[in-house]
Structure 1
Amino acid sequence: MKFKAICTDIDGTLLNSERDLSPRLKKVIEAFSPEIPLILASSRMPDAMRHLLRDLNREKQPLICYNGGFVIDSDGKVVDSVEIPLHLVQRILELSQSTSIHISLYQGESWFEPKEDYWSAREIKNTKVTPTWKETTLVLNEWENSQSGAHKVMCMGNSQEISWLFGELHFLYGDQLHLYRSKDTYIEIAPKKISKATALQMILNKYYDFGMGDVIAFGDNYNDIDLLQSVGWGVAVGNARPEVKAVAKEVTLHHKEDGVAAVLEKLIG
């Protein structure tokens, strides 16, 4: 396949077992022309993605953040922003009050945590980003004053409580919220109408002279299905969910075995 852009998920797809970029991947990305954009598409916040682009010597690239809820062009300009309304954020927090579930709030360039605990420390380690330490009530008050909401709400806790909250939110707000269990202990929540595929289409329409059919994309989880279906060549890594493999045109090696790099090496020849 000849392609004009690479679009890839990060966690469970691009990163290795150390949650980092392998030397093999860096080498193959270096071999591609800088004219071929490398577009990261993730549930991560912007700063948790930018350091990866720096490591790949690809700093001036568009970013699809929060699964498509916050889209930034190569100059850092916001292309699109879709938030979870404040009243829904408040309902998520209210439902979680009777549990031990940890709630993290994200808006644009900011990640808010009330205090450091096991879950926040884990995310700091995984993403190499430090949050803004602020009481949740203060964050909500500021959002109320600015008439804004969250780009992402992340719920973390034991699998039983997470399963219960997922069921409640799906029943009550499944038509308004995209609920994504990236792990048994996580729920990542975004607005219903956004996706990685719609964000990529927006970037291509605005900044490039080619379409989705000229893109190769990589993914592993449910939030990658639309993306892999929409591009010219969708690739699932070996550890991908069965539903993701079913829609992919190719299944490569496990992310711990450099599956993305293996495909790109073949394309270079």
Structure 2
Amino acid sequence: MNIKAICTDIDGTLLNKNREISERTIKAIKQLPDDFPVILASSRMPSAMRHLQATMDRLKNPMICYNGGYVIHFNGTKDDFELLDTVKIPLDICHHIADLSAGTDIHVSVYHEDEWYAPQEDFWTDREITSTKVKPLIRPWQEVHDDWNSRKAGAHKVMCMGPAEQIDHIFRVLELEKNEDLHLYRSKDTYIEIAPKAISKASALALLLNQKYSIKMSEVMAFGDNYNDIEMLDAVGHGVAVANAREEVKSVANEITAKNTEDGVALMIEKYLL
């Protein structure tokens, strides 16, 4: 097997039960050559991924953010990066999602580049801060809308969090009304992560490899656990699902490794690359 790069999902795949990269995984990654790309691909924002790159000593590697909507390659420092691709949800669709959530208990967070805007500090805000180690800017949606409208901006991601029955309802409405425009990911029954339909982790990885490396998709080993990883695992040379992955993910994988809590990524690096 000729593997020249790895690309891995983060939550539920790379991180352990403490939402950290285990010592075994860090050790395995650090044994790879310095010029061997270790690419993070996630629905997270850049700041929620950058500290993980630092942990792995991979500060000059690329990252695929927002499920492929924002692809950047760092030259070293946080502010010294190359923007490879950016695809956003149009402002009118963001506003429609906000309108759908009005009068419900659903928390709607919106993301643009490396900015996270939350409507208030609440249970959902605190939960995401704990998970990602990033704090939001607290601003009501109308203020964000007016600012983005003046800049002709949109959202790289919209995240709806709330009671499962209310999330079910807004999911069904958006699936019916905006299926041609949006990817709707149910990472939990209380979450919907929303991205533009035009992108995926697979399309972003292909673009990244084409622009920055002489590496084919067939020369990549990729790891994942959830619905938004299916296309990526199916497109690469060796797709690996962790044991805790959804059955749909396992069905397209070339191999199934141990759970994320049992160093599944490290096991595959040790098996094929060390």
By how many angstroms is 1:2 displaced? 2.3
The amino acid that maps onto 1:50 is: R
For 1:39 and 1:57, how far apart are their aligned partners in 2? 12
Equivalent residue in structure 1 for 2:208, among 203, 209, 233: 203
* Whole-angstrom CA distance in 1 between matches of 2:106 and 2:139: 18
Structure 2 distance, partners of 1:115, 1:159, is: 20
Deviations 1:67-100 (CA, angstroms, capped at 9, x unpaired): 0000001332111110000000000010111311
- State the TM-score, normalizing by the size of structure 1: 0.98
Matched, 1:169 2:174: yes
Q: Could you list the structure 1 runs, at least 4 aligned residues long, displaced by more than 3 angstroms after superposition.
A: none
CA offsets 1:30-73 (integer angstroms, 9 cap, x no match) = 11111110000000000000000001111111010000000001
Q: CA deviation at 1:136?
A: 1.5
Partner of 1:33: 33
Q: Where does 1:39-118 land on structure 2 (aligned, <5 Å)?
A: 39-75=39-75, 76-118=81-123
Specify the code of the residue in structure 2 equivalent to 1:255.
N
Q: Which residue in the other structure is 2:139 paired with?
A: 134
Unaligned runs of 5+ in 1: none
CA RMSD of aligned residues (A): 0.8
TM-score in terms of structure 2 length: 0.97
Q: Secondary structure at the match of 1:77?
A: strand
Q: CA deviation at 1:266?
A: 0.9
Partner residue, 2:267: 262
Establish whether residue 143 from structure 1 lines up as the match of residue 186 from structure 2: no
Matched residue count: 269
Paired letter, 1:34:
D
Q: Are 2:107 and 2:160, in contact at CA under 8 Å, matched by a contact in 1?
A: yes
Structure 2 gap segments, 5+ residues each: 76-80
Alpha carbons of structure 1 residues 114 and 98: separation in structure 2 relative to 1, 3 Å: closer
Residue equivalent to 2:78: none
- The one-letter code matched in structure 1 to 2:234 is Q
Structure 1 residue 239 and structure 2 residue 239: aligned? Answer: no
In the TM superposition, what is the alpha-carbon distance from 1:175 to its structure 2 partner?
1.0
State which of 223, 229, 242 in structure 1 corresponds to 2:228: 223
Q: How far apart in 2 are the matches of 1:2 and 1:252? A: 19
Partner secondary structure for residue 168 of structure 2: helix
Secondary structure, counterpart of 1:194 in structure 2: coil
Distance between the aligned counterparts of 2:184 and 2:65, measured in 1?
Answer: 16
Whether 1:152 and 2:157 are equivalent positions in the alignment is yes
Identity, % of aligned pairs? 53
Give how far 1:267 is off: 1.4
Following the alignment from structure 1 to structure 2, what is the Cα–Cα distance between the partners of residues 27 and 2?
21
Once the two structures are superposed, residues 191-226 of structure 1 have per-residue CA deviations (whole angstroms, 9 ceiling, x without a partner) of 001000110111111111121011000000010011
For 1:97 and 1:106, the matched residues in 2 are separated by 19
CA distance in structure 2 between the partners assigned to 1:188 and 1:172 by the alignment: 16
